[in-house]
Structure 1
Amino acid sequence: MNANSNAVLTAPLSLEGDNSDGPPNMLQRIFRLLSSVHSGSDLIRLQLPPLFNLPKSQLQCYGESVYCTKTDMLSKCNNGETPLDRFISVIAWSISTTRPLIFGVAPYNPILGETHHVSRGTLNVLLEQVSHHPPVTALHATDEKENIEMIWCHSPIPKFYGTHIETEVHGKRQLNLLDKNETYVMNSPKLVIRFLPVPGVEWLGNVTIQCKETGLEAEICYEGNSFFPRRSMHRSIKGKIFLSSSSQTLYKINGHWDSTVTIKDVSSERVTIIYNAKEAISGLKTPIVKDQKGILPSESTVIWAEVSQAILQKCWEKAKEAKSVVEEKQRELAKERKLKDENWVPKHFTVSHSKESGWECLPNHKLVPPTPIVVTP
């Protein structure tokens, strides 16, 4: 597919997009799909039929969590008057990247070298799939006006455990407030897809946010239902903000990431709302294409355009054929590289890996350029 092919963009995941029940027979189809998979098995190489796919790539899902928000939460991170103000804003922004997922469907596994490039105002976001086995996605976002830079490196590792699939997201997220000389480092919660007793999708686990320059740190626990559903536990988060040097707790964090999150000052008992999901991630706008010819041929929305269009039209055989074409082309390119004894090199990132530090993805350029795909206010 070339750069002149029409990109297909779909609505971003938001509060309105949640449909955790799924189609009535979805659970039965999933069990048939996983019937040959053993408990504890690595699902990285499992290829889903289009019937189980969202009409978008995983790169788009990562990118949407950065460029699709109703309010400009990133600018607020940089504009806080004190280090504590900025740190609290970073926590709120980090929570906003958590989006409701739909039970029974998943995005496409990105192909090697696939990119996704979107602009929102002065914020430019670029993602690249820098490894296929294991899957590793790199993200670089810059806002020259606000002096903000973001660098992510994600490597999701899904495993099947009989009644559920658990995906640990290895790698780190880094947010740099350049004019403040502050770097915030954080990880991601893990994704759990439950089949029994009640089907559903949850973000679970511990997230740590740390700023060494200010000595501030936060621990946030994403909680959910361990077995039977309880409204009080559904999508709840708890945590604290403390000083790294002394472990002195400054604030306690409480709430639900799909509604509101508060902090309570431990000294004054004052409670403040720091995040409102309805204000941040409801009614999100779909990006638009301003210049079709300026889109990279490696762009997600171009590579998967025919597959996405067929899924939207519920033409499953056509979607299956189009998806097979994309995947077969990648297998042929991999064979060619092997015959030539060539290693694939990412275009936009320098990538390294070690047992000690895991995956590191450093951008090759200081700034991300604007793109023809934009999110309008």
Structure 2
Amino acid sequence: MVSEGNDDIKIVLSKPSSFDGDADADYKAPNFARRFLSLFRNVRPGSDLANFQAIQLPPQFNIPKSQLQFVGESAYLFGKDLLYQCNNAGSPLERFISVVAWSISTTRAPAFGVAPYNPVLGETHHVSRGSLNVLLEQVSYHPPVAALHATDDKENIEFIWCQHPVPKFHGTRVEAEVLGKRQLKLLNHGETYMMNSPKLIVKFLPPRIDWIGDVNICCQETGLEAELCYITSSIFGSRGLHSVKGKIYQSSSMKTLYEVEGHWNSTVKLKDINNGKETIIYDAKEVFSELKTPVVENLQRVWPTESAAVWSEVSNSILSKNWSKARDEKSSVEDNQRKLAKERNSKGETWVPKLFTVSYSKEDDWECSPIQERVPPAPIVVPI
């Protein structure tokens, strides 16, 4: 944990969560499975939990970071730089395979029984790793929508995410459909890759977290497309746990070029349909080796809306296991958000994001476009 501050602002940055859901190394959460289950006793199956205000997690169930930080980590925390591979592969097909591997690398899950804080409206997170600059903003609270913009000036790469989780309760599990578009632009090659996210599933019996559902990745410029299916195990076994399988094909002819199969928390292999040759395209141990905690490089440039500042007192209290203070500090953050919303309503004002323009349809199809062309270097950096 890194804690720095002055009279105006305090920052608490905790160590990164690993790809397999292990909790932050600074904070080992006790087993809260029974109390976690008790939160849902009065929730009807099929209920949309995104707007279910009766469920407010006490701080004992939180890891010391915001969901905005958790999303950001999937973009800027890595050991092996797969983005470099995406940009520097020699052919369109090789670049597409690298993009598939990068997409899999963003698949991470929190530990069972704990969750990040729900970001407040207008909360931001700004971090740099080398030449990669990443900026997020919580652009909606009801429903919760986060926007991410990242640019790498050295590699001439840009990616934009819009993330809108819609969790629903199904008796023995919660499934969160992650709506919103993701796009990765390799500007040197004039290629844009569009993709979606799988669903996050939380099973109570037996207790586990996994990803399920279909992911489509396509590049209109090259005509290449991938279909991936994330699969979890049944209640009777663990063979399929964390599985991913699919194919890469040419969209014009629908000809399959490669088959994809493996586990997103270990290795994923690519099989060439023509000759049967198999190649490992993704190794989680390499990507997530030696993850380093971000540090504050320039405290004076940190915005008051920064996640690590908004939740600093709550995080400090959780890390010290001062649950009474953690509860009070968390209530203070949440009460302040309600107060600001009430003031806006009384004045007839509509809150407008500072960093993104946002549009959405009746089908909950949210789109978030960054206002700035490039993301500036951040005051918080990941050591290399």
1:181 matched to 2:190? The reply is: yes
**Alignment partner, residue 231 of structure 2:** 223
TM-score (norm 1): 0.96
8 A contact 1:3–1:295 mirrored in 2: no
- 1:160 to partner: Cα distance: 1.0
Amino acid at match of 1:270: K
Identify which of 308, 314, 322 aligns with 1:307: 314
**Alignment partner, residue 4 of structure 1:** 8
Amino acid at match of 1:348: L
Q: Distance in 1 between matches of 2:253 and 2:383?
A: 45
Q: Distance in 2 between matches of 1:25 and 1:371?
A: 36
Query: CA distance change for structure 1 residues 357 and 30 in 2, over 3 Å: closer, same or farther?
Result: closer
1:55 matched to 2:86? The reply is: no
**Alignment partner, residue 112 of structure 2:** 103
SS at match of 1:7: strand
- 1:25 to partner: Cα distance: 5.0
1:238 matched to 2:245? The reply is: yes
SS at match of 2:271: strand
User: More displaced, 10-19 or 176-185?
Assistant: 10-19
Identify which of 18, 35, 42 aligns with 1:14: 18
Q: Distance in 1 between matches of 2:280 and 2:350?
A: 50
Q: Note the alpha carbon deviations across 1:217-276, whole angstroms, 9 max, x for none.
A: 00111111122232x311111100001111110000011111111100000111111011
1:147 matched to 2:151? The reply is: no
Query: CA distance change for structure 1 residues 356 and 322 in 2, over 3 Å: closer, same or farther?
Result: closer
Identify which of 214, 227, 238 aligns with 2:222: 214
Q: How does 1:1-377 map to 2 (within 5 A)?
A: 4-15=8-19, 18=22, 25-44=31-50, 45=53, 46-196=55-205, 198-230=206-238, 232-355=239-362, 358-377=365-384
- 1:100 to partner: Cα distance: 3.9
What is the identity percentage for the equivalent residue pairs of Structure 1 and Structure 2?
59
Q: Note the alpha carbon deviations across 1:71-97, whole angstroms, 9 max, x for none.
A: 111111011110001000001111111
SS at match of 1:134: coil
Q: Distance in 1 between matches of 2:65 and 2:250?
A: 41
8 A contact 1:164–1:195 mirrored in 2: yes
Give every structure 1 segment of 4 or more consecutive aligned residues whose post-TM-superposition deviation is greater than 6 Å.
none
Amino acid at match of 2:8: N
- 1:3 to partner: Cα distance: 8.6
SS at match of 1:34: coil
Q: Distance in 2 between matches of 1:131 and 1:326?
A: 16
Query: CA distance change for structure 1 residues 244 and 204 in 2, over 3 Å: closer, same or farther?
Result: same
Q: Distance in 1 between matches of 2:109 and 2:349?
A: 40
Query: CA distance change for structure 1 residues 2 and 220 in 2, over 3 Å: closer, same or farther?
Result: farther
* Alignment length (residue pairs): 373
- Cα RMSD (Å): 1.6
8 A contact 2:21–2:108 mirrored in 1: no
Query: CA distance change for structure 1 residues 179 and 23 in 2, over 3 Å: closer, same or farther?
Result: closer
TM-score (norm 2): 0.94
Q: Note the alpha carbon deviations across 1:56-111, whole angstroms, 9 max, x for none.
A: 00111110001000011111101111000100000111111112420000111100
Q: Which runs of 5+ in 1 are unaligned?
A: none
SS at match of 1:302: helix
Which one scores higher on RCO, CA 8 angstroms, separation ≥ 6? 1
8 A contact 2:192–2:220 mirrored in 1: yes
- 1:31 to partner: Cα distance: 2.1
Q: Distance in 1 between matches of 2:10 and 2:208?
A: 34
- 1:2 to partner: Cα distance: 9.3
- 1:293 to partner: Cα distance: 1.6
Query: CA distance change for structure 1 residues 342 and 65 in 2, over 3 Å: closer, same or farther?
Result: same
8 A contact 1:3–1:302 mirrored in 2: no
